[in-house]
Amino acid sequence: MIECWRWFGPDDPVSLQDIRQTGATGIVTALHEVPNGVVWPEAEIAARREMIEAAGLTWEVTESIPVHEDIKLGAHGWQKLAENWAESARALARQGIKTICYNFMPVLDWTRTDLDHELADGATALRFEFAAYAAFDLFLLKRGGAEAGYSEEDIRQAKAWLEAHTPEDHEQLVRNIIAGLPGSEESYTLEGFRAVLQRYEGIDREALFQNLSNFLEYVVPAAEEAGIALALHPDDPPRSLFGLPRIVGSLNDLKHIAAVSSSKAHGFTLCAGSLGVHPDNDLLEIINALGKRIYFTHLRAVKREADPRNFFEDHHLGGDIDMVAIVRALRNLERQSDRELPMRPDHGHRMLNDLSQTSTPGYPAIGRLRGLAELRGLTRAIDVLDEAKSAGQKRGSV
């Protein structure tokens, strides 16, 4: 696998020189400063690529060109925004960057309620707590009709969370959820968040899927012509939030989306953490079903709690995910398709010097370095064992 590292551009606390020292060779990045819906200037893409290459690295994956909210809504004028998206993709291809990770999550991208959940070893991790989320939705956001989506016990626990935490904690929760996590591209005030949620009234799963299908009809032919691999990222977490539909959270969802187009340009990002949050998702079954349409991988592990709607980011070889089996399946996929998959460690713990330095939530230096080292060692061990097994079988057949 091509070892990659997510980099948020020149203002990222982790520099390209730092990344070079991790042993990663590929960069996963985007022009985060360009507003959603605007065509990326090719000169700026070229300048960013040249900056990366001057550091001895390669720009392997774009994550991501954000999909404008009006495309997800199917609002008037969405076609022009889709064409802008396709033109940005073409410009990337002309600069040699031909894998694009994107998502179709309405309003919010990935969501967590706690960005510094303390673990037993003193490191901190990202966490999603359902009671905190419900407290925000019911009592801080005060979303109209929200109560209908919760049981009486859910509401009781949400009230208990609110009462057990200070006003400062409430403000921090609001920031964590709607201020925009890294790569999400959007942030909101409470009033603005309520307004954009209202725009989704009448948009159910079927309507959102149709809007995704319409978008793909625009961009897949452009991607295919340019030799681009489009890699749709699953929802994180893979369940409805704030009454919004989410359509990329299960094997059935992925199969449904795969059927939209048989083009080789239309594929997926396998995010082990996002899909692994849901206990019904069998990641090996998903890898086997998607097969050669997996173009990019995020390897991270999550640990579900007593309430399985709660989870935190565990170390990369821990949690509820069999990372050994996942990496072996991905290595087999690479051998079968005769290609290397770009891979990046994801959502590392804040640990050691990370705890005393500025750190982008989910993307500290040392925590991700630990994850990369674990994944590198795991991959090499699997390769050695598989080579030994293959050699033994050859000797036995002689």
Active site residues: 233, 271, 298, 346-347, 363
Pairing of strands 124-128, 311-314: antiparallel
Sheet holding 301-304, edge to edge: 114-118, 124-128, 311-314, 301-304
DSSP string, 323-389: HHHHHHHHHHHHHHHT-PPEEEE-SPPB-GGGGGS---TT--HHHHHHHHHHHHHHHHHHHHHHHHH
Q: b/e map of 142-155 (b: 16 or more CB within 10 Å)?
A: ebeebeeebeeebb
Q: How far is CA 234 from CA 38, 89, 160, 252, 393, in A?
A: 24, 20, 32, 12, 38
DSSP string, 85-135: HHHHHHHHHHTT--EEEE---SS--S--SEEEEEPTTS-EEEEE-HHHHHH
Q: CA 128 to CA 124: how far, in whole Å?
A: 13
Assigned token pair, 171: 């403000």
Kindly report the number of other CB atoms within 10 A of residue 216's CB atom.
21
Distance of CA 329 to the CA centre of its chain: 20
Assign 173 to helix, strand or coil. Answer: helix
**Burial level of 395, CB count in 10 A (0-12/13-18/19+)?**
exposed
